């Protein structure tokens, strides 16, 4: 796909580059905050599955004073399997959110205190097999919830990506064990055509006697006792659209001069620094060198010089 055709297609992609966000996802967190005020009273925050870092940029902007010469480096921690370029005032951990050592490392950065807010925009690499992708995404959400029970203060907030599919109530039921207030939200910047949404869970209140443990499945105290889900499954989680009708729709193509400005192409703010597809790109580059297409201008010159 050409550069400008992608720019043309997606106004949030275009805006992200204009405003200096590393990914269009930044708008999702900003619109969730407009609706739920998730940053109110937040001192320590954790961004799980953070690369390339647009949510960390939002946390940095909302929680830190950019004019400080030495920002308090213990307040925001970002975790991802992949390396990420630095973000102002954000401590980075390259690690796996399913690993207990990652939880320990996070709390050690807060001097053994805990976080007021944990956000997770985690997504596994898609396999293309729909039900498998949904299953893996659900497992990632459960892993995020699990590590959150180690690092979130009672009363804290958890925001995470969720796929709204047939069995999503099982996830709501699981979240309800730990949070009395849960909303499922869909920011305007998240495409309507995508099953992605975000759970906003407030007032973290673990059940009495609950001890966080990375090895246990979380399900309702007694693992695999699905019968107990019957009652709690009747709880309806409110669905909220974040943003108002004045904001552009993420599924619509807008003209390049849509906002009354002359269009200028911007390079991406930050490309991934060590993406897993790097090897594939280098293999492709080698292949292109081996089987290079003929240069069209040379072919045309040759044709012109031919005498019939």
CA distance 43 to 116: 6
Residue 81 or 285 with smaller CB distance to ligand SAM: 81
Residue 164 or 263 with smaller CB distance to ligand SAM: 164
Q: Given 17, 28, 91, 161, which residue is catalytic?
A: 161
Burial (CB count within 10 angstroms: exposed 0-12, middle 13-18, buried 19+), residue 125:
exposed
Binding mask 16-45 for ligand SAM (x = CB under 6 A): ------xx-x--------------------
Residue 293's alpha-carbon distances to 196, 298, 299, 301, in angstroms, are 40, 11, 11, 16
**Under rule CB under 6 A, residue 118 binds ligand SAM:** no
Q: How far is the CB of 32 from ligand SAM (least distance, A)?
A: 12
Dihedral angle of Cα 244, 245, 247, 251, to the nearest 10 degrees: 120
**Under rule CB under 6 A, residue 198 binds ligand SAM:** no
- Tell me which long-range contacts 67-70 makes (C-beta under 8 A, separation of at least 24): none
Q: How far is the CB of 22 from ligand SAM (least distance, A)?
A: 6
**Under rule CB under 6 A, residue 214 binds ligand SAM:** no
Phi and psi (nearest 5°) for 152?
-100, 140
Residue 123 or 240 with smaller CB distance to ligand SAM: 123
Task: Return the residue of 31, 44, 54, 148 that touches ligand SAM, per CB under 6 A.
Answer: 54
Task: Return the residue of 30, 140, 182, 184 that touches ligand SAM, per CB under 6 A.
Answer: 140
Q: How far is the CB of 55 from ligand SAM (least distance, A)?
A: 4
Report the SS3 class of residue 156. strand
User: Would you call 161 a catalytic residue per the annotation?
Assistant: yes
Q: How far is the CB of 18 from ligand SAM (least distance, A)?
A: 16
CA distance 155 to 162: 21
**Under rule CB under 6 A, residue 50 binds ligand SAM:** yes
Report the SS3 class of residue 277. coil
Q: Report the number of secondary-structure helices (H) and strands (E) in the chain.
A: 10, 8
**Under rule CB under 6 A, residue 122 binds ligand SAM:** yes
**Under rule CB under 6 A, residue 187 binds ligand SAM:** no
Q: How far is the CB of 215 from ligand SAM (least distance, A)?
A: 16
Count of residues binding ligand SAM (CB under 6 A)? 22
**Under rule CB under 6 A, residue 105 binds ligand SAM:** no
| Alpha-carbon torsion (7, 13, 15, 21), positive or negative | negative
**Under rule CB under 6 A, residue 52 binds ligand SAM:** yes
Residue 122's alpha-carbon distances to 107, 110, 125, 290, in angstroms, are 20, 22, 10, 38
List interacting residues with ligand SAM (CB under 6 A). Answer: 22-23, 25, 49-55, 79-82, 96-98, 121-124, 140
Catalytic site residues?
A: 161
């Amino acid at each position: 796909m050409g550069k400008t055709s992608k720019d043309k297609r997606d106004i949030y992609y275009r805006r992200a580059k204009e405003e200096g966000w590393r990914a269009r996802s930044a708008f999702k967190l900003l619109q969730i905050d407009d609706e739920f005020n998730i940053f109110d009273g937040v001192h320590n925050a954790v961004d799980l599955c953070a690369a390339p870092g647009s949510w960390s940029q939002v946390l940095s902007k909302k929680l830190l004073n950019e004019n400080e010469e030495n920002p308090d480096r213990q307040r925001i921690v970002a975790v991802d399997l992949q390396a990420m370029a630095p973000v102002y005032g954000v401590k980075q951990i390259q690690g796996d959110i399913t690993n207990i050592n990652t939880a320990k490392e996070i709390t050690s950065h807060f001097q053994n205190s805990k976080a007021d807010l944990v956000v997770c925009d985690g997504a596994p690499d898609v396999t293309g097999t729909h039900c498998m992708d949904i299953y893996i995404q659900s497992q990632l959400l459960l892993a995020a919830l699990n590590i959150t029970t180690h690092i979130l203060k009672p009363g804290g907030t958890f925001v995470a990506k969720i796929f709204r599919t047939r069995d999503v109530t099982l996830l709501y039921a699981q979240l309800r064990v730990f949070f009395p207030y849960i909303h499922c939200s869909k920011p305007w910047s998240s495409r309507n055509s995508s099953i992605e949404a975000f759970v906003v869970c407030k007032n973290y209140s673990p059940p009495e006697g609950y001890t966080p443990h990375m090895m246990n499945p979380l399900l309702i105290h007694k693992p695999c006792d699905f019968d107990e889900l019957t009652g709690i499954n009747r709880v309806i989680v409110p669905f909220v659209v974040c943003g108002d009708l004045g904001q552009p729709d993420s599924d619509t193509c807008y003209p390049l001069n849509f906002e009354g400005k002359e269009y200028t192409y911007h390079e991406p703010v930050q490309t991934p620094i060590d993406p897993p597809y790097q090897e594939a790109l280098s293999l492709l580059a080698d292949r292109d060198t081996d089987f290079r297409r003929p240069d069209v201008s040379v072919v045309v010159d040759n044709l012109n010089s031919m005498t019939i």
